[in-house]
Amino acid sequence: MQEQRTRRRIRGTIAIGAVTTLTVAALATASSTLNGTVPASTGPGPTAGAAAAPDRYGLAPCRIRNATGIQMSEGIPTAPGYARSTGLVRALTLMIDFPDAEGEGHAMRRFTEFFPQTSAWFRTSSYGRLIYLPETPVPDWLRMPRSFRAYGIERGSPYEPGYRQLVEDIVKAADTRVDFSAYDLVNVLVTPNAGPSALDTVLSVTFSGNDEAPLADGVPLANTSFVYSRQDDGSGSFHETGYRVLPHENGHVFGLPDLYTSRGGSAVGHWDIMSEDWGANNDLLGWHKWKLGWLDNDQVRCVAGRGTRDYTLTPLARPGGGTKLAFIPLNRRSGYAVEVRTQDGNDEAVCEPGVLIYRVRSHVDTGQGPVTVVDSERDSGGCTRSPNVHAELSDAPFRPGQSFLDRRHRVRITILSELPTGAYRVRITRA
Give the residue numbers spanning the domain of 21. 2-41+80-257
Tens of pLDDT, residues 353-398: 999 999 999 999 999 999 999 999 999 999 998 888 999 999 999 9
For 356-360, the CB contacts below 8 A with 24+ separation are: 356/271, 356/285, 356/396, 356/397, 356/398, 357/398, 357/404, 357/413, 358/268, 358/271, 358/285, 358/287, 359/334, 359/335, 360/64, 360/74, 360/287, 360/334, 360/335, 360/336
Percentage of the chain beyond pLDDT 90 is 77
Cα 181 versus chain centre, distance? 24
Quick check: is 362 in a domain?
Answer: no
Contacts of 77 (CB under 8 A, 6+ apart): 45, 47, 51, 52, 63, 291
> Distance between CA atoms of 140 and 173, rounded to whole angstroms?
11
pLDDT score, position 38: 29
> Distance between CA atoms of 123 and 128, rounded to whole angstroms?
5
pTM: 0.89
pLDDT score, position 387: 87
Quick check: is 17 in a domain?
Answer: yes
Tens of pLDDT, residues 161-171: 899 999 999 99
Q: Indicate left, alpha or beta for 345 from its phi (over 0: left) and psi (-120 to 50: alpha).
A: left
Quick check: is 181 in a domain?
Answer: yes
By residue count, the chain amounts to 431
**CATH code of the domain covering residue 234:** 3.40.390
Quick check: is 242 in a domain?
Answer: yes
Tens of pLDDT, residues 40-77: 222 334 444 556 666 788 999 999 999 888 989 999 99
Q: Is the dihedral of CA 245, 246, 252, 254 positive or negative?
A: negative
| Over residues 321-325, mean pLDDT | 96
Tens of pLDDT, residues 221-246: 999 999 999 988 888 888 889 999 99
Quick check: is 330 in a domain?
Answer: no
Quick check: is 283 in a domain?
Answer: no
Closest CA to 204 of 165, 253, 237: 253
Quick check: is 230 in a domain?
Answer: yes
Tens of pLDDT, residues 255-270: 999 999 988 899 999 9
Quick check: is 376 in a domain?
Answer: no
SS3 string, the chain, reads CEECCCCCCEEEECCCCCCCCCCCCCCCCEEEEECCCCCCCCCCCCCCCHHHCCCCCCCHHHCCCCCCCCCCCCCCCCCCCCCCCCEEEEEEEEEEEECCECCCCCHHHHHCCCCCHHHHHHHHHCCCCEEEEEECCCCCCEECCCCCHHHCCCCCCCHHHHHHHHHHHHHHHHCCCCCHHHCCEEEEEECCCCCCCCCCCCCCEEEECCCCCCEECCEECCCEEEECCCCCCCCCCHHHHHHHHHHHHHHHHCCCCCCCECCECCCCCCCCCCCCCCCCCCCCCHHHHHHCCCCCHHHEEECCCCEEEEEEECECCCCCCCECEEEEEEECCEEEEEEEECCCCCCCCCCCCEEEEEEEECCCCCCCCCEEECCCCCCCCCCCCCCCCCHHHCCCCECCCCEEEECCCCEEEEEEEECCCCCEEEEEEEC
Who wins on pLDDT, 15 or 205? 205
> Distance between CA atoms of 24 and 274, rounded to whole angstroms?
17
Contacts of 354 (CB under 8 A, 6+ apart): 340, 341, 376, 397, 398, 399, 415, 418, 424
pLDDT score, position 53: 66
Confidence of residue 39 (pLDDT cuts 50, 70, 90): very low
Total domains in the chain come to 1
Tens of pLDDT, residues 329-339: 999 999 999 99
Tens of pLDDT, residues 375-384: 999 999 999 9
Tens of pLDDT, residues 132-188: 999 999 999 999 999 999 999 998 888 888 999 999 999 999 999 999 999 999 999
> Distance between CA atoms of 238 and 173, rounded to whole angstroms?
31
Contacts of 122 (CB under 8 A, 6+ apart): 130, 132, 247, 250
Average pLDDT, the chain: 88
Contacts of 400 (CB under 8 A, 6+ apart): 415, 416, 417, 418, 424
Q: Is the dihedral of CA 235, 237, 238, 239 positive or negative?
A: positive
pLDDT for residue 31 is more than 80: no
pLDDT for residue 22 is more than 70: no
pLDDT score, position 2: 24
